[in-house]
Structure 1
Amino acid sequence: MLLITTPTGNTGRAVLDTVLNAGETPRLLVRDPARLDPAVLERAEVIRGDLRDPASLEKALSGVEGAFFCVPQSPDPDDMDAYYGSFAQPFAAAAKAAGVQRLVAISGGDGRAGNRGPGVQLHQLEQTLNAAGAATRFVRCGYFMEQFLWMLPGIAYGGMFALPVAADLPLPFVAARDIGHNAGQFLLDRTWTGQQAAAAHGPERLSCDHAAQIASDVLGLPVRFQSISAEQYAASLTPHGVSFAMGQSLGEMFAAISAGRDMGAVAETELPCPTTLREWMQAVLKPALMAANAVGNINS
């Protein structure tokens, strides 16, 4: 039995697709089964529950050999350490009690000097899950292309997106579907042992100026990049429901990157992530822009 958590998220959905395409019948732990595709409900065992609830975890992990774990993304945690710990600690305890043999998790922190922002919590997450006694594979990710979806209103109406990095700083853009596919492959492979990390950093490192040029070409409208301070960036997130703690954490992450810390935590191996930013924008960002314009709801 394989368990997949967060199966309706960008990454978890790709894990689920990979496992289903391999002919497996996974178990899914999900808060709202109605968000699952009806076809998935026919091919998977679904348990309604909360990833932080010990009773839900005990039920979901019973008899499980391998599990995929991902902390659900939320814009409004008041305490980053507490938020990540509220998921990792009960999951690790339940996995240990259930005797789960293999854990695959999304990460991004390697414990190197200069690690700041969410990478700190992700490194702590790795240590917590390693203590469960199972073999582990941590997929350490670069900069998610899906973040452009958050910036779509500014691109559509202002012709601009902004981040607190230099315009010419290369970033490892990576698509969530590639991350999830690799995590799914780990989950399907019953042969690996030990505790290791693998990097999912995308096929190309591009500056934000270059990303703006690609967006202009794909979307058919002028797009430029604006470099802003970490404080300006955090303040710009507040109207969108992002908490002070989350904004500060992201600002710290970008400040560390700007100071010379490479984005995309190092790992023992590099995973194949073939989707280019141009391909992703053509397949995801452009349809999102067209759909939002069609209903006059670009700010949603």
Structure 2
Amino acid sequence: MILITTPTGDIGARVLSNVLGAGEKVRVILRDASKLDADTRGRVDIVEGSHADGGAIARALEGVSAVFWLPPGSVRAKTPEDAYVDFSRAFCTALPGSSVSHIVGVSALGRGWPKPAGLAAASIAMDDMIAATGLAYRSLACASLMDNIARQIGLIREQGAFYQPTPGDLKLPHVAKADVAAIASRLLIGQDWDSAAEVALCGPEDLSFEEMARVLSDVLGREIAFHEMSVKDFGGMMRGMGASEGMAQGYVEMMTAKNEGIDNAACPKDRSATPTTFRTWCETELLPSIQAQ
């Protein structure tokens, strides 16, 4: 049996669909089972509760051989360490006495980065804690997720613009959530690997946000502009969205590290495992979402 955490999240839902499609026996853990559609509820075993709760995660691990692990990364957590490391403690405590042999997690690039990296650094610390259990672990260390542009779908549709705290001409790697979920699913289904290792996922190309704006303009058939915002304003925006002071600072530190090259330095030469281009993502995911609205 495979356990899927965050089964209604953007990546978790894709992983859940993939493993069910492969005919695997699946359990999910989530706070509110009604968030799953009726068909899915009828096809999975369900444990209601937070996967940070010791009792709930212990129940969820019973009879499970592989786990897809992804903390929600709540912006209301006190600090990034609370959101990732502390959130995962009960899970790591429950693993040694469980039937689990394989774990796949979603994390960030940047191991060995010498400066503060906020959420990225906290994710890597979470990886180390899971790896210390001695079980087979694959950390899917992701560059920025291109799907995050969809968070600004209202601005793109209504104002023809999107914003990032990054110089417009700076080329950075971006990976599609569909590719991340596909790799996670293959690892969970196969379970033909051992030890602990990171898998860097960077997408097929480096793009600047100005280049992304040109792709968006072409796909959507109208001009879409990119506007750089200051890192300070970005932090204020996160606070305005309900982020704690610690999490807002964590986002600022992570974006600053990305602007300074934390992701570029960690990307491999062979990036064929994550083939989805930004143009393809715009055509297959963003454009249909805008048309639907």
Q: Which residue of 1 aligns with 2:236?
A: 235
**Aligned-residue offset at 1:149:** 1.8
Q: 5+ unaligned residues in a row in structure 1: which ranges? A: 293-300
For the Cα contact (< 8 Å) 2:142–2:202, is it kept in 1? yes
For the Cα contact (< 8 Å) 2:109–2:263, is it kept in 1? no
2:12 is aligned with 1:12:
yes
**Aligned-residue offset at 1:263:** 4.7
**Aligned-residue offset at 1:283:** 2.3
Q: Which residue of 2 aligns with 1:34?
A: 34
Aligned-partner SS, 2:263: coil
Q: Residue type of the partner of 1:48?
A: E
Aligned residue pairs: how many?
292
Q: 5+ unaligned residues in a row in structure 2: which ranges? A: none
Q: Which residue of 2 aligns with 1:190?
A: 191
2:126 is aligned with 1:125:
yes
Q: What root-mean-square deviation, in Å, do the aligned CA atoms of Structure 1 and Structure 2 show?
A: 2.1
Q: Which residue of 1 aligns with 2:170?
A: 169
For the Cα contact (< 8 Å) 1:140–1:264, is it kept in 2? no
Q: Which residue of 2 aligns with 1:46?
A: 46
**Aligned-residue offset at 1:11:** 0.8
Q: Which residue of 2 aligns with 1:139?
A: 140
**Aligned-residue offset at 1:37:** 2.5
Q: Residue type of the partner of 2:64?
A: V
**Aligned-residue offset at 1:270:** 5.2
CA–CA distance in structure 1, aligned partners of residues 52 and 102 of structure 2: 19
CA–CA distance in structure 2, aligned partners of residues 270 and 224 of structure 1: 28
Percent identity, please: 31
CA–CA distance in structure 2, aligned partners of residues 110 and 216 of structure 1: 32
Aligned-partner SS, 2:67: strand
Map 1:214-233; keep pairs closer than 5 Å: 214-233=215-234
CA–CA distance in structure 2, aligned partners of residues 268 and 105 of structure 1: 22
Spell out, residue by residue over 1:94-119, the C-alpha distance to the aligned partner (whole angstroms, 9 max, x if none): 11221421111001144213351211
For the Cα contact (< 8 Å) 2:104–2:140, is it kept in 1? yes
Give the TM-score, by structure 1 length: 0.90
CA–CA distance in structure 2, aligned partners of residues 19 and 225 of structure 1: 37
CA–CA distance in structure 2, aligned partners of residues 267 and 198 of structure 1: 10
Alpha-carbon spacing, 1:215–1:113, altered in 2? closer, same or farther (3 Å): same
CA–CA distance in structure 2, aligned partners of residues 268 and 217 of structure 1: 28
Q: In terms of mean alpha carbon deviation, does 130-139 or 240-249 score higher?
A: 240-249
Alpha-carbon spacing, 1:54–1:185, altered in 2? closer, same or farther (3 Å): same
Spell out, residue by residue over 1:126-181, the C-alpha distance to the aligned partner (whole angstroms, 9 max, x if none): 11101222111110111112211222232233322221222111122211111011
Q: In terms of mean alpha carbon deviation, does 230-239 or 15-24 score higher?
A: 230-239
2:27 is aligned with 1:22:
no
Aligned-partner SS, 2:197: strand
CA–CA distance in structure 2, aligned partners of residues 264 and 197 of structure 1: 15
Q: Residue type of the partner of 1:71?
A: P
Q: Which residue of 2 aligns with 1:90?
A: 90
Q: Residue type of the partner of 1:201?
A: C
Spell out, residue by residue over 1:215-245, the C-alpha distance to the aligned partner (whole angstroms, 9 max, x if none): 1122233211122221121123333333333
Alpha-carbon spacing, 1:267–1:71, altered in 2? closer, same or farther (3 Å): farther
Alpha-carbon spacing, 1:85–1:180, altered in 2? closer, same or farther (3 Å): same
Aligned-partner SS, 1:151: helix
CA–CA distance in structure 2, aligned partners of residues 243 and 153 of structure 1: 24
CA–CA distance in structure 1, aligned partners of residues 163 and 282 of structure 2: 17
Q: Which residue of 2 aligns with 1:200?
A: 201
Q: Which residue of 1 aligns with 2:160?
A: 159
**Aligned-residue offset at 1:264:** 7.8
Q: Which residue of 2 aligns with 1:81?
A: 81
CA–CA distance in structure 2, aligned partners of residues 260 and 225 of structure 1: 20
Map 1:94-113; keep pairs closer than 5 Å: 94-113=94-113
Alpha-carbon spacing, 1:81–1:283, altered in 2? closer, same or farther (3 Å): same
Q: Which residue of 2 aligns with 1:297?
A: none
